[in-house]
Structure 1
Amino acid sequence: MKVSPRNIGATLQAPGNLRVIMLHGDDVGLIRERATTAAKAICPDLHDPFRVAMLGRADHARLEEEMTALSLTGGRRVIWLREGTDEGLLEALKRGLAQQSDALVIVEAPGLDSRSRLRGFVEKDAQCALIGCYPEEGRALEGAIRQMLAAQDVGIDPDALGWMVERAGPDRAATRSEVEKLALFAGRGGRLGLEDVRACVGDAAGVSMEDAAFAAMAGQRREADAAAQRALTVDGSSPSNLTRALMSHIHRLRRARLAMDAGMSRADAMRQLQPPVFFKRTDSFGQALGLWPADALLRAAQDTQTLELACRQTGSPDIVLCLRHVARLCGLAQQARRRR
C-alpha cells in the first residue's frame, strides 16, 4: 500500500504487522534516515547480528533465506536491503511473503522507476508499505528543522530558521548534520538566534566545499582538487562534510536534470530550484547539467553515500578517499565532455 505523507511518521515508528517497507525517491539521506527509524522500531540495537541482517547489492540473493530465518534470541528480525532494484528481487520477495515469518524487510530503493514491477507490487500488497522520500522545501523543511531541534529541547527564532532554510540543501542527511551542530552549540533548553545560526552554518569552510563540488561536477580538475585540498587541510572541514556538500549539489543537479528531461528549459529548470542557484555559480551549474544525465547523477549520489559511510570507519584514510572521489567525478565529467 502507498503511505500518505501525513501517515509516514506513524508507520515508521510502529510498523505493526507490515512485512515490507520500501523507501524510494530522490533524497538518499531521507531514505536512510527513515529506514533507520523503521529498523529501530523493531530492534533498537541495529548491531544485533541475530535480529538484523544488512544486505548490500552483492547479497540480494539471500533475501528469501533471511526472510524465513528464525531469531535465535527472540523478537522480530529486520532484513535491511540496500540498492533495491527490480533485478531478481520481485520473485524472491513474493516467495518470502508466501511463507510464515514476522520479519520486517526494509528496502532502500532510490530512483526506482514508477513503472517498476517491484514498486507496483509493493504498492498493491496489503502486507507492504511504499513510502516516497523527496527533498523537503519551504514550510515542510521548516517543520522538519523545528522538529529536529525540538527533539534536542532547542528553540529557534523565525528569522534564524528562515535563513537556515535558504541555506539548506536537498539532502536530509546534510540538513540533520547541520541541525545537530546547532543543537550542540545551543545546548538543551537553549534558543538559537540569527547570529548563532550564521556563526555555526555560514563558515568559510562551506565555501571551499561548495567550490569543490561545483568544480568536480563540471569536470574542472585543477579547481576541484585545489578547493577540496583547501577545505580538508586548511579550513578544517571533515571528509564527511565534504561528501555531504557533494551529495547536496548532486541532488540539486538531478532535480534540474529530471525537469529538463520532462521538457523544461535549462534556465527554467535551474530557476525552479529552492533555494535558487547563486548567480555566481550559474555557469558552473549549467555546464554540469549538460554533462550528466539523470541516471549517472543517481549513481554519483549512491557512490558518494557509500564514500560517506567509508569515511566514518575507524582508521579509514578518509581524506585520501575523498580526494580520490572528487578526482573520479571530475574524470567522469571530462569523459562526458569529450563525447559531446
Structure 2
Amino acid sequence: MELASGKFSAFLASRDPKYRIFLFFGPDEGLVRELSRALCVSIVESLDDPFRFIDMEAGDLFADPARLLDEVTAISMMGGERVVRLRGASNNAKGYIEPVLELDLTDSILVIEAGDIRKDSALVKMINKAPYGAVTPCFHDKAQDILSLIKEVLGTANLNPSREIIEYLRENLGSDRAISRGELEKLALYMRGRTDPMTLEDVRANIGDSSAQSIFDVVDATLLGDLNGLEKYLNKAFSAGESSIGFLRMTQNQLKQLHKTAALRDAGARSEDAIRKAGIPFFNQKKAAAQIGGKSSAHFATCLDITMDAEIKCKSTGYPDEAICRRALMRIAVANRRR
C-alpha cells in the first residue's frame, strides 16, 4: 500500500494493525525522520525502552546479515509490540529485508528509513506489493504543506500569527520539513511567556539567515531614506564580510518592483492595486507603500541607473567596492528622503 505523507497523521490516529512493515523514503530526509519517529512513538511511547525499541543502521547488516531477522522475530520480554527501526536503507538492503516479508509478524513492526530512492526502485516495489507493507514517499514541502506546519507548530504553542506573519513565514521557510519545524519551534520558544502579540520583527529575529536579513536592512534603509540606519547597517554588514555587489543587486531587485508599481499607479491604478499587481508579497506591502510614497516611475528608473552604474564601477575601475557601493546607496537614500 502507498500511503501519502499528508494522510499519515490520520492513519496514525486509527492505525490498521494489518500493516507491519513501513518504508519512508524520498528527497526530504527531514520528513522521512519525522514520520518514522511519529510512527515509532505511537507504538512504544519511549524510544529509550531497550526491550521494545531497537534502532539499527542498514550498514551494520553487512557485518551481521542475520541480525534484522533475529530482531523482528524476537518476543518482547515486557509485553506489547516491539519496533525495529532500520535507518539509512537503500536498494542494497533489499536482500536483508526480503526474508522478513515471508514472516507473519505479530509481535514486531519494522520501520525503514531510506534516502532519495525512486518510487519504481526494487525496495519500494517489493514492500508496496507486500500484503502488510506500506510505503510513504516524502517530498519537499509545497506551499500548502508549509502552511499546515505553521499552523500546527504555532497553534500548539497557543500563538495566533497575523496574515502578514504567515505570508512572511511561507516566503522564508525552506522546503525541508525538519529544518522548517526547528525554525518554528525556535520562534515558539522565543515567544514563550510573552503576553503581547507576536510581531513581524519577532519573526525576523528568529527565522532564516541573519546575513540575508542584514542585506534586507540595508535595502530598506536605502529606499526609506533612513541615512543613519543605512550607515549603521552598512558598517555592520561590511564588518561581517558581506558583498557590495550583493547589496547593489538586492537594491536593484526591489527598485524594479517599486518602478513597476509606480508605473501602474502613474497609469491610473490605485496604490493598493498597483502594489498587488506588481507582485509584492503581502508582508512587504506596507513597507513598499512607504518606500513609494508619491514618487514617480521616473524617480525609480534614475535610482536603478545609479545602482547599475555602481555595479559596473565595482567590477571595472579598481576602486574599493565598499566605497562605491556606500556612495551609490547614500545617493539613493538622500533622493528618497527629499521626496
Query: 1:163 pairs with 162, 165, 168, which one?
Result: 168
What is the CA–CA distance in structure 2 between the aligned matches of 1:109 and 1:69, rounded to whole Å?
23
Trace 1:149-298 onto structure 2 (pairs within 5 A): 149-187=154-192, 191-202=197-208, 204=210
Question: What letter corresponds to residue 207 of structure 2 in structure 1?
Answer: V
What is the CA–CA distance in structure 2 between the aligned matches of 1:100 and 1:202, rounded to whole Å?
45
Trace 1:1-340 onto structure 2 (pairs within 5 A): 1-17=1-17, 18-60=19-61, 61-90=66-95, 92-95=97-100, 97-187=102-192, 191-202=197-208, 204=210
Shift in CA distance, 5/203, structure 1 to aligned 2, threshold 3 Å: closer
What is the CA–CA distance in structure 2 between the aligned matches of 1:23 and 1:54, rounded to whole Å?
15
Contact 1:159 1:194 in 2 (8 A): yes
How far 1:65 moved relative to its partner?
1.1
How far 1:91 moved relative to its partner?
5.3
Which secondary structure does the structure 2 equivalent of 1:144 belong to? helix
Question: What letter corresponds to residue 199 of structure 1 in structure 2?
Answer: A
How far 1:154 moved relative to its partner?
1.6
Contact 1:12 1:34 in 2 (8 A): no
Aligned to 2:310: none
Shift in CA distance, 95/129, structure 1 to aligned 2, threshold 3 Å: closer
Shift in CA distance, 148/166, structure 1 to aligned 2, threshold 3 Å: same
Aligned to 2:248: none
What is the CA–CA distance in structure 2 between the aligned matches of 1:121 and 1:88, rounded to whole Å?
12
What is the CA–CA distance in structure 2 between the aligned matches of 1:50 and 1:5, rounded to whole Å?
29
Contact 1:29 1:173 in 2 (8 A): yes
How far 1:116 moved relative to its partner?
1.6
Which secondary structure does the structure 2 equivalent of 1:122 belong to? helix
Which secondary structure does the structure 1 equivalent of 2:136 belong to? strand
How far 1:16 moved relative to its partner?
3.3
What is the CA–CA distance in structure 2 between the aligned matches of 1:206 and 1:14, rounded to whole Å?
44
How far 1:63 moved relative to its partner?
1.4
What is the CA–CA distance in structure 1 between the aligned matches of 2:153 and 2:132, rounded to whole Å?
30
Which secondary structure does the structure 2 equivalent of 1:30 belong to? helix
Aligned length: 211
Which secondary structure does the structure 1 equivalent of 2:110 belong to? strand
How far 1:68 moved relative to its partner?
0.3
What is the CA–CA distance in structure 2 between the aligned matches of 1:187 and 1:94, rounded to whole Å?
50
Contact 1:51 1:78 in 2 (8 A): yes
What is the CA–CA distance in structure 2 between the aligned matches of 1:189 and 1:79, rounded to whole Å?
41
What is the CA–CA distance in structure 1 between the aligned matches of 2:141 and 2:72, rounded to whole Å?
33
Question: What letter corresponds to residue 138 of structure 1 in structure 2?
Answer: A
Shift in CA distance, 14/36, structure 1 to aligned 2, threshold 3 Å: farther
Shift in CA distance, 175/99, structure 1 to aligned 2, threshold 3 Å: same
Which secondary structure does the structure 1 equivalent of 2:91 belong to? coil
Contact 1:22 1:129 in 2 (8 A): yes
Contact 1:155 1:189 in 2 (8 A): no
Residue ranges of structure 2 left out of the alignment (5+ in a row): 215-239, 241-280, 282-339
What is the CA–CA distance in structure 2 between the aligned matches of 1:75 and 1:206, rounded to whole Å?
50
Shift in CA distance, 40/29, structure 1 to aligned 2, threshold 3 Å: same
Contact 1:22 1:109 in 2 (8 A): yes
Shift in CA distance, 203/5, structure 1 to aligned 2, threshold 3 Å: closer
Contact 2:52 2:82 in 1 (8 A): yes
Shift in CA distance, 206/67, structure 1 to aligned 2, threshold 3 Å: farther
What is the CA–CA distance in structure 2 between the aligned matches of 1:182 and 1:100, rounded to whole Å?
42
Which secondary structure does the structure 2 equivalent of 1:155 belong to? coil
Question: What letter corresponds to residue 25 of structure 1 in structure 2?
Answer: G
Which secondary structure does the structure 1 equivalent of 2:202 belong to? helix
| TM-score under structure 2 length normalisation | 0.57
What is the CA–CA distance in structure 2 between the aligned matches of 1:74 and 1:41, rounded to whole Å?
16
What per-residue deviation string (whole Å, max 9, x for no partner) do you get for residues 142-196 of structure 1?
1111111112222211111111121112211111111111111222786533222
Shift in CA distance, 141/100, structure 1 to aligned 2, threshold 3 Å: closer
Question: What letter corresponds to residue 11 of structure 1 in structure 2?
Answer: F
Shift in CA distance, 99/184, structure 1 to aligned 2, threshold 3 Å: same
Residue ranges of structure 1 left out of the alignment (5+ in a row): 209-233, 235-274, 276-340
Quick check: which has more Rg, 1 or 2? 2
Report percent identity of matched pairs. 30
What is the CA–CA distance in structure 2 between the aligned matches of 1:142 and 1:169, rounded to whole Å?
12
What is the CA–CA distance in structure 2 between the aligned matches of 1:171 and 1:2, rounded to whole Å?
21
Aligned-residue CA RMSD in angstroms? 2.6
Question: What letter corresponds to residue 27 of structure 1 in structure 2?
Answer: D
What is the CA–CA distance in structure 2 between the aligned matches of 1:28 and 1:181, rounded to whole Å?
20
Question: What letter corresponds to residue 58 of structure 1 in structure 2?
Answer: G
